[in-house]
Structure formats: structure tokens, C-alpha cells
Structure 1
Amino acid sequence: MEKAGRWAGRNTNKDALRSRIWETLDSGGMAMGPTWSHIPNFIGADQAAWHLAQTDAWKRAKVVKCNPDPPQIPVRLRALYEGKMLYAPVPYLTKEFPYLKIDPAKLREKGISFELAATSGGYLMYGERVDFEDVEPLDFCVVGSVGVSRTGGRTGKGAGFADLETGIFRELGIIGPDTPMATTIHSSQLVGDDEIFMMAHDSPLDFVATEEELIVTNNSMPRPKGVAWEFVQDDQFETIPFLKSLRDRMESR
């Protein structure tokens, strides 16, 4: 039986691309930890975070949002050490609250190490629980990726969490049309422009950082204005506790 990701079946072309990348990371020895059905951790993730942190957009940012996955621990750690307010989601959005606010000043007051708070387990324990509407306007957004093109196309692990969160933030005005979108990946996760199909609700990337380089995509694709609820999967409404009530609140605005 052919190996497949957890969310396989929604798009066969994307499934094939993800499978190829996960297999390449595994067979090439670049992966750190599990790859299949994950945003894969990789050797050189700290160097990729360093490349990302050299951008003027990152340096200017005071409020940063970052995905919860292991390869972005160095990104979250840099944000905290640089005194940035950090927001990160509950992994898989499985709790009654969607997000955590991680304030480096409060962590220092409590004697909590940034190294602990940069992990998903650490920030779930020590971060402040917040709803989407409570998140401050974001200056810089980092998302997890499985496959990325040099022109800013992106595919994740197939669950649709990043697109959903970004759409919610866009509709609430927390992410604007000029808010930088970025990711960190291993260089082997770079693919051709024609291998990633971007849909109307997908947000293109402005920066791609690998262990080798920083890529400025100069992507000029229009950004979505909000949530494309028609693309939200039935299983997302079933497994994300707050999603139905959030949709009702947003549609009544």
C-alpha cells in the first residue's frame, strides 16, 4: 500500500508533491523527527531563522505571529529574545481557545526560559489564552510549509490550518494586504513554480528562508480579503471546537 499523509485525498497533485518532499527529507537525512503529515523539522532550521531575521521587515516588526511546529522553534525563540510580542496558535486548533499570546517581558518576570516558551508545549503552559479577535495587528507572519516555490507559492501539510487562520486574521483586519508572509524550509523543499497550485484563498509568501539563503519572492499576487468558508472542510468544523461560533460571529459583523 502506498504511503500517504493524514489529510490525503483533498488534492491528488498536492498529495503527490508532499509525499515526494517528505520522502526526500527522510531518505536524504535532512529531517529531524517525523516528516509525514507534519510540517517537517530539518537540519539547519536555526540557520534559516537567522536568514529570515536579517530582513528589514522582521527587524521592524514588534508583533509577530508564528506557526506552532518544531522547525519554527528558532523563529519563535528569536522573536522572544528580540523583545517582540509573539502570537502562536494551539496545535491543530483542538482547544476551546485558538491562540496564545507570549509576552517576553512577562516571561522574564516569572523566570520562564525563552527556550521553553518557544516550544508549543511551553507556550501552551505559560502563554495567555486569547481569541482571534484579541490578537493585536500583526507586523510579520510566519507559516509552516511542506513545499514552496521561489515566487512565493506554498503548500502545507494538507490540513488547511494556516490558510484558515490567515483568512480569519485578514477578515478581522489583523493581517493587512501589506503584512509580510514568510516561511522557513530546507532547501530540498523548494520546487518549481508549476508544481504548486495556488487557489484564491491561498496567501502567497513574501520571504522564504532556507539553511542556505533568503529568497525575496517579489510576489504581486492579490491577497485574499478574508475566509473562504466554502473551502473549509467538514472535518474542520467537527474537530475545531470554536469554529462554528467564530463563523457566526464573523458573519454577523
Structure 2
Amino acid sequence: MTTLDQAKAAVRDRVWRHLLTQGVVPDDSYGTIPGFHGAEATAERLAELEVWKDARTIKANPDWAQLPVRTRALQDGKLLYMAVPRMASLKPFYLLDPDTLGLPPEEAAQSREAAQVADNVGVEAMQPIDVVVCGSVAVNRSGARIGKGAGYSDLEVALLIEAGLVTEETTIVAPVHQLQVIDEEIPETEHDFSVDLIVTPDEVIQCEQRRRPSGIVWENLTAEKVGEIPVLKKIYEY
């Protein structure tokens, strides 16, 4: 583990412990993108924003924490791309079209149900993304974020940037609990992206220091990481 990895791990540990101590997340939240009390209110606050109202396509993580946002996207008639957990497919996104769902939005938006009813798609079959909803353990007001450490969210965004689907017109949003918004600096690597908006149950924070990779930073990936993600392995070998 590098010094930067250790610094990130220390931030996660502090935030997870604080959330648990304050009783705002379920008891089994350590080590996860935590679901939090107020997630539904956060989704409602996000849905009030013009950037959401204007959006036609949403990309979201499959974490339980983002379920209210995914549900709201489908209820609002938006095309939803949900990442396949761990990018474990050559077509690493589920396509959920509200016009063709065979289930109520609150069911179809669940990761397990989506795996059963949604089509898997690769970037070549996707439309440009208007809003990216990213799961986070912690964010700061400059827009730096940190996930649970696996790096999949960063790779998903990098893949979409490289495919021209996430552009300067795309807004990246972190819906989190207020206690996940921290004042300290968050260590960042070349693959890490910043968020444009932080939405909590209590406020919307506009982040001014946009930072995004230009695409997949291959030199930052180990051969093991590339080998375990089918779509990256295919691109690399090509």
C-alpha cells in the first residue's frame, strides 16, 4: 500500500467510524458506500435542481445508498445506466428504460432486480450522459471525493470519458449525508475525478474546482486490475 493509499484509507476509516458513532447509517456500513438516513430527502433535493430536470440520461452506481436517486430517475422518465457491480462484464452497464420497464421503478432500480430485467450495454451502444451520480464515502467542498477503495467508480467514469459519453457538459453529483462532507483535503490520483455538486438532505454545494481524467490512465493500472475487468482487458489487448 502506497503512502497515498494509506492516507485515503485513514480518511475512510475516520468517516465510517464517525457515521456509525452518530447513528446516521446502518450498523454494517463500515467498508461500504454507506446508505444513510435522509437518502430519500437527498434524492428529492437533487430532483428539484434544473440540472436534473434538464437531464435525459443518468449514470449511477449500483450501491444501495443510491437507490432513491435511481428510483427517482426512472420515475422522472430518464434513461438510466447502472454500472454492473465490479464492471464484471464486457458490457459493463445495465440499461433501464422507463418506457419499457416490466417492474415498478422502485423495484427495477434495485441492483438485484436490474440484473434480471435490464439489458447489458457497452459504451458503443450508450447515449451521452447528462448526469453522473457517484457513490462516495467522503467529499470535501472543493469537489474531491473518495470511494470505498476498489476504484470502480473512477474507472467507470474514465471509460465513459474515453468513449466521449462524459464530457464537459456532464454534471457529476455526489449525494451524501452532511457528515460525509469533510473540511480536510482528500488525496487524489490521476484517475480520480472531482464532483460538480454535492447534495445532502440539508443543502446543495456547488464545487468550483473541476478535475477529471482525460480517459483511462493505463500506467496507473496493474496487470491484475486490467485482467479482472473484461472491458479493460479487451481494450488493452486490442
What is the count of residue pairs matched by the alignment? Answer: 238
User: Do 2:61 and 2:133's aligned partners in 1 also have CA atoms closer than 8 Å?
Assistant: yes
Root mean square deviation, CA, Å:
1.8
Q: Distance in 1 between matches of 2:105 and 2:3?
A: 39
Gaps of 5+ in 1: 1-6
The secondary structure found in structure 2 opposite 1:35 is coil
**Where does residue 229 of structure 1 map in the other structure?**
218
Deviations 1:176-230 (A, max 9, x none): 12310001111111112x42022332211111011211111123x3432111111
Q: Distance in 1 between matches of 2:175 and 2:62?
A: 13
**Where does residue 154 of structure 2 map in the other structure?**
163
* Shift of residue 28, structure 1, vs aligned partner: 1.5
**Where does residue 203 of structure 2 map in the other structure?**
213
User: Do 1:17 and 1:195's aligned partners in 2 also have CA atoms closer than 8 Å?
Assistant: no
Structure 1 residue ranges, 4+ long, deviating more than 4 angstroms after superposition: 7-10
**Where does residue 4 of structure 1 map in the other structure?**
none
Q: Distance in 2 between matches of 1:25 and 1:217?
A: 23
Q: Taking structure 1 as reference, are residues 157 and 235 closer, same or farther at Cα in structure 2, changes over 3 Å only? A: farther
- Structure 1 residues 37-76: aligned runs within 5 Å: 37-76=31-70
Match of 1:186 among 160, 177, 185: 177
Matched, 1:242 2:236: no
The secondary structure found in structure 1 opposite 2:233 is helix
Q: Taking structure 1 as reference, are residues 8 and 247 closer, same or farther at Cα in structure 2, changes over 3 Å only? A: same
Matched, 1:204 2:174: no
**Where does residue 131 of structure 2 map in the other structure?**
140
Residue 228 of structure 1 aligns with an amino acid whose one-letter code is V
Q: Distance in 1 between matches of 2:62 and 2:88?
A: 13
User: Do 1:67 and 1:143's aligned partners in 2 also have CA atoms closer than 8 Å?
Assistant: yes
Q: Distance in 1 between matches of 2:17 and 2:147?
A: 15
**Where does residue 22 of structure 2 map in the other structure?**
28
* Shift of residue 59, structure 1, vs aligned partner: 0.7
Q: Taking structure 1 as reference, are residues 90 and 49 closer, same or farther at Cα in structure 2, changes over 3 Å only? A: same
* Shift of residue 35, structure 1, vs aligned partner: 1.8
Matched, 1:129 2:120: yes
Gaps of 5+ in 2: none
Q: Distance in 1 between matches of 2:8 and 2:232?
A: 25
Q: Percent identity?
A: 36
Deviations 1:70-95 (A, max 9, x none): 11101000100000000011112224
Residue 239 of structure 1 aligns with an amino acid whose one-letter code is E
